[in-house]
Amino acid sequence: AFIYAYSRIFKQPPAEAEMRRHFGVTAPSVHQMVLTLEKAGFISRVPGAARSIQLLIPPEALPILR
């Protein structure tokens, strides 16, 4: 939900640093979250490319961001 909302507001996907600040976790934790979302088929990305996250599920399937 955060990736979707961020992308709608700023017209680009979030960087891992923005996700780290939002969730208040460490950089390795965010990176692991991204890898887990990718492995589960929720997102795709280009490794090594900045801001390359793309959602692969429809917005209706996302939880409400609080």
In the predicted structure, residue 65 carries a pLDDT above the cut 90: no
Q: Kindly report the pTM of this predicted structure.
A: 0.88
Distances (CA, A) of 16 to 49, 51, 57, 60: 11, 8, 20, 24
Sign of the CA dihedral with 53 first, then 15, 29, and 3 last: negative
For domain 2-57, the CATH class is: mainly alpha
pLDDT, tens only, 14-38: 999 999 999 999 999 999 999 999 9
Q: How confident is the model at residue 47 (pLDDT cuts 50, 70, 90)?
A: confident
